[in-house]
Each structure stands twice: as structure tokens, then as C-alpha cells.
Amino acid sequence: MSDSVSEMALDQLFREARTFNAWSPQEVTDEQLHQLYALAKFGPTSANASPMRVVFVKSEEAKARLAPHLSDGNRAKTMEAPVTAIIGTDHEFYERLPQLFPHADARSWFVGNQPLIDTTAFRNASLQGAYVLMAARALGLDCGPMSGFDQAGVDAAFFAGTAVKSNFLIAIGYGDGSRNLFPRSPRLSFDEACRIA
Amino acid sequence: MSDSVSEMALDQLFREARTFNAWSPQEVTDEQLHQLYALAKFGPTSANASPMRVVFVKSEEAKARLAPHLSDGNRAKTMEAPVTAIIGTDHEFYERLPQLFPHADARSWFVGNQPLIDTTAFRNASLQGAYVLMAARALGLDCGPMSGFDQAGVDAAFFAGTAVKSNFLIAIGYGDGSRNLFPRSPRLSFDEACRIA
């Protein structure tokens, strides 16, 4: 049982965090990306299956490979971001279960049941993408998540020969709030989205 | 640009947080559930579409409606939890876009494209479920996420007559670490899950 984190942390993680569309040139170091994953990996997944695979697109060469597959509205800002994480979904995640869930034969729960494999992979890789986003914010980084891209093109460019499919993208860096930061859009009220039964 | 949140907050959110399977009887108040949603709602979604719908199962009556649809391994612990959130996915989320994304006709991007609707709904409701989990932890609550349940049964019991489908469950309360708390399972290393390109 814990207390709430500080009001400042709640602001940083949720209330004041924004989706940025312009980026300061300040670098994100490889060490920061390792720190980010060292937090995000602890987020829970079904049977600890951990189906997320990530490519952190950072070099000019890798950015050039990503660029043609981005929607027109996402291209310029993504090239400006110091790093863009391609959050991928491994549809053969179950091959890792003997390592990740060693106390039961969890692999056998999935093999041969493709709908269960695909649903579990997509749900849990999406959860893990959210953990990456929250971990980045916790470390003081800003994010710009995007799903406007050609999935097949990104898969061919970054995941060829694997069972990994791109899920969504997260630009990561230090947001420049002076450019293209839109007013926050409205959210659904509690009563519009939730009920207590 | 922000600093990292405190080491204690990083522990609470990621490094020391655990999936609990036993619960203290301490209540989770309706006010806490409102606080939780008031944080989680700010997490980003595609076109701000916010497709998550939540039923917080709290009353004995609602728990009794949920129980028959849980997998055998999840039933007793879920009945013990003070609250279980049914994270639902609204497959007609696009009808809210005139409210949620008022600066463009985003509804028209989806209507008639069922694969895009379903993928966007499932990905983004899953992201929002992760935001609920992280918001609960940020507020000092513990979580026990689960996907072992009969989706059609839960849908009929809680979402009849709507386009909402159950996605996954999160038991919420104050974990009892003295019972059924398993050693933390291993995670994939950075090099197993990620690469910097």
C-alpha cells in the first residue's frame, strides 16, 4: 500500500502531458532509451508474454528508411524528432514463454490457436507501448504517438523475415511547445465513459 | 522539458509494482475511481478517439453477474478484490468524434471502414486500459490485470445493446502480498526486445 505520487508527478504523467508535434534539437541518448525500457519492461502483460518489440529510429539512415511510409501529416515532425520508437507486435511471442513464464507450459496455451495468438499479441504489445509512453514521460521526455503510417511498408523496412508487425509509433524527445502545439481536445466525462456497478 | 519523477515514484509505477492475486478488504471509494479516471482520461489516443468504456464492478450484485464468466483461476481472487474494472472497447467510438475532435471531420475517416474501426478501437482502448493501470498505481492503488474470461458472457452481462466489447479486466485495490504473490517473472533484456537503428 502506497501513497499517491506527488501532484507534480501526476501533472507530468497525465494532467499536463501533451502530444507534441514539434521538437527541440536536444538529443535523446542511447542511455536514456535503455533507462526507458528498464522501466517499461516491468509493466504487466498476459502470462508475462511481453510481445512488444521496439526499433528506436535514431540515425539519419533509419529515419530515411521510415520516412516514405509515414502519412504526409506525420512525416516532417517525425523527421524532426530525435527518436521515433516503432512499437512492434511479435506474433510469435509464444516461443519466448518457456523463458518468460517458466513455471507452466504457457506456450501450449497458444500454439495452434491463431485468433488467441493475434489478439493476445496486439492487446499486450499495445499495453506495452503505453508503458513506454508513460515511462518516457516519467523520465522527463515528451512523446508524440502516431498510427498514421503504412504498416506493410514499415514492416518490410524494419521487420522483414520476422513475425513482428508494426503497431504504432511514438516520437520521443523534448517537445517544442512554441510550434504546432494544439489546444488540448476535450475528454469524455466520467459519466460518458464509465459507470460504477 | 521536465526532470524525471522521483526514484520512489519510478519504483511505485514500474520497478516495485506487482500484479496482485490477493486483496486486503480495504475499500476503494467511488471518489478514488473518479480521481483515477480524471488522470487516465488524459492519456493520448488516435484522433483523441477515446474508445475505452469502463464498468467498475463493485457491488455484490455486479460481482455475482461477473463471476460465472471468469476463468476458474481468476474467480476467487476477483471476488475478493474491492473493485474490478471491465475495460471495454466501443466499436462505435467514431460517433463521439464530433465532440472529441471538433476541428476536423474525423468521423468520416472511419465510417464504412470496419477494419480501421476495429483496429483503432482495440489498440486505443488497450492503451487507455494501460493508462488506467498506471493511474491506479500513481494514486497508490494496486492492480491485477486479467484476460482470462468469457468475453461474450461479459458482453451480454454488462454491455448488452451496445457496440462495446469487453477487452480485459483490472482488479483494483490494496494488494495483500502475504498471499499468492508470485516471484516476479523474468523480463526480456533490452537487446532481446529492442534495437537502436
With an 8 Å Cβ cutoff, are B5 and A5 in contact? yes
Q: Residue A15 is nearest to which of B4, B42, B57, comparing CB atoms?
A: B42
With an 8 Å Cβ cutoff, are B100 and A134 in contact? no
A9 touches chain B (CB under 8 A): yes
Short-list A125, A99, A115, CA closest to A43: A125
Contacts of A96 in chain B (CB under 8 A): 188
With an 8 Å Cβ cutoff, are A2 and B24 in contact? no
pLDDT tens-digit readout, A152-188? 999 999 999 999 999 999 999 999 999 988 889 999 9
Residues facing B164 on adjacent strands: B90
Q: Where are the domains of chain A?
A: 25-176
With an 8 Å Cβ cutoff, are B59 and A142 in contact? no
ipTM of the complex: 0.98
Short-list A156, A8, A47, A175, CA closest to B5: A8
How large is the average pLDDT for residues A88-108? 97
Whether B120 shows a pLDDT value over 90: the answer reads: yes
**Model confidence at B182, in pLDDT bands (50, 70, 90)?**
confident
> Do residues A125 and A51 lie in contact, with contact meaning Cβ atoms separated by under 8 Å?
yes
Helices (H), B44-113: 60-66, 72-80, 97-100, 107-110
> Do residues A131 and A139 lie in contact, with contact meaning Cβ atoms separated by under 8 Å?
no
pLDDT tens-digit readout, B26-62? 999 999 999 999 999 999 999 999 999 999 999 999 9
CATH class of A25-176: alpha beta
Residues facing A165 on adjacent strands: A89
How large is the average pLDDT for residues A115-121? 98
Whether B1 shows a pLDDT value over 70: the answer reads: no
With an 8 Å Cβ cutoff, are A2 and B50 in contact? no
Q: Taking a contact as any Cβ pair under 8 Å apart, which residues of chain B between 169 and 188 contact chain A?
A: 174-175, 182, 185-188
Q: Residue B37 is nearest to which of A147, A182, A194, comparing CB atoms?
A: A194
Contacts of A37 in chain B (CB under 8 A): 190, 193-194
Distance CA A151, CA A144 (A): 18
Express as a percent the part of chain A with pLDDT over 70: 99
Contacts of A48 in chain B (CB under 8 A): 185-187
Residue of B103, B174, B184, B187 to mutate when probing chain A, most A C-beta within 10 A: B187
> Do residues A62 and A54 lie in contact, with contact meaning Cβ atoms separated by under 8 Å?
no
User: pTM of the full predicted structure?
Assistant: 0.98
Q: Which residue of A has its CA nearest to B144?
A: A44
With an 8 Å Cβ cutoff, are B1 and A140 in contact? yes
Shortest CA gap B190–chain A (Å): 7
Express as a percent the part of chain A with pLDDT over 90: 96
Half-sphere exposure of B113 (CA within 13 A, CB side): 11
B22 touches chain A (CB under 8 A): no
Q: Residue B57 is nearest to which of A34, A99, A197, comparing CB atoms?
A: A197
Residue with cell 513482428: A164
Residue of A101, A122, A185, A191 to mutate when probing chain B, most B C-beta within 10 A: A185
Helices (H), chain A: 7-10, 30-40, 60-66, 72-80, 97-100, 107-110, 114-138, 151-158, 190-193
Q: Which residue of A has its CA nearest to B100?
A: A186
